[in-house]
């Protein structure tokens, strides 16, 4: 007996919407609860991990050294001849010579012979006459050594006198290597004036002294001119290859300008 299933009728659309809405609401509520549970959870504190810094070491690669060529075999050196042994025989030194003083013996003239007395017959053994010889020794003294005279002291040569200064003129024998510069403040020169400076310079041309004469300028201008000349320098004055100190006269004229 065969049975046939009856076709199912679809649910109405309103019920389907209610089911979908209820499922969506359940899903939303579940998600909201899950989010709230997650937000209430405390985040675990992670312990910091202490790690030492990594050390990097750079190593320079070197090329392998080239193999050295084989050394040539050294030839055996001939052995040097052994030195001969020489025996040293010590000989005794001869005794030092004795000092002998020269003694001159002067033999006096023989004394006159004494005649024997006549033999008396009654004396059986007469004594013979005795002849005496007298010798005299004389010692010659050695002369004392002559006294040693010390050498005479050597006197140093006298220093040469410096050359006398030469009187020359500017442009006639010497010139200014560094000319004098006189700076006057405004209003310091009230009228025209002049003076002559007597200059003394050494062999190198350096000014040693500067003195003003025949001056009708003020003392301030006079001092400034003398100081400026002392700071200046002349050229050397050479005559026959010898440098001489010099004496020079230099006039100075100051004029008022309108």
For the chain, what are the domain ranges? 166-183+192-254
Structure tokens that stand for 53 in this block: 């810094």
- Looking at domain 166-183+192-254, its CATH class is alpha beta
Average pLDDT over residues 232-250: 92
pLDDT in tens, 104-150: 444 444 444 544 444 444 444 445 444 544 455 555 667 677 777 77
C-alpha to C-alpha distance for 207 and 248, rounded to whole angstroms:
10
Q: What is the percentage of the chain residues whose pLDDT exceeds 90?
A: 27
Half-sphere exposure of 109 (CA within 13 A, CB side): 2
pLDDT at 153: 73
What is the β-pairing status of strands 242-244 and 135-139?
unpaired
Beta bridge partners of 249: 198
Q: Where are the alpha helices (DSSP H) in 41-80?
A: none
> What b-and-e string marks burial along 51-68, b requiring 16 or more CB atoms within 10 Å of the CB?
eeeeeeeeeeeeeeeeee
Residues 209, 204, 156: CA angle, nearest 5 degrees: 100
């Amino acid at each position: 007996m065969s049975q046939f299933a009856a076709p199912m009728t679809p649910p109405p659309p309103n019920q389907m919407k209610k089911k979908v809405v209820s499922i969506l609401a359940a899903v939303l509520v579940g998600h909201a609860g899950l989010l709230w549970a997650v937000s209430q959870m405390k985040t675990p504190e992670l312990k910091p991990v202490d790690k030492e810094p990594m050390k990097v070491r750079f190593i320079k690669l070197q090329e392998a050294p080239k193999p050295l060529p084989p050394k040539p075999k050294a030839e055996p050196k001939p052995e040097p001849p052994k030195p001969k042994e020489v025996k040293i025989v010590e000989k005794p030194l001869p005794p030092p010579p004795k000092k002998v003083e020269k003694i001159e013996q002067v033999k006096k003239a023989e004394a006159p012979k004494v005649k024997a007395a006549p033999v008396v017959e009654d004396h059986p053994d007469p004594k013979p006459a005795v002849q005496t010889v007298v010798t005299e020794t004389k010692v010659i003294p050695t002369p004392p050594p002559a006294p040693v005279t010390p050498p005479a002291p050597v006197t140093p040569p006298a220093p040469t006198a410096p050359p006398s200064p030469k009187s020359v003129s500017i442009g006639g024998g010497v010139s200014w290597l560094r000319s004098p510069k006189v700076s006057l403040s405004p209003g310091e020169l009230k009228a025209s004036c002049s003076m002559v400076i007597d200059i003394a310079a050494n062999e190198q041309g350096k000014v040693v002294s500067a003195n003003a004469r025949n001056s009708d300028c003020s003392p301030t201008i006079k001092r400034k001119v003398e100081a400026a000349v002392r700071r200046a320098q002349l050229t050397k004055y050479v005559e026959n290859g010898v440098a001489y100190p010099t004496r020079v006269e230099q006039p100075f004229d100051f004029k008022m300008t309108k």
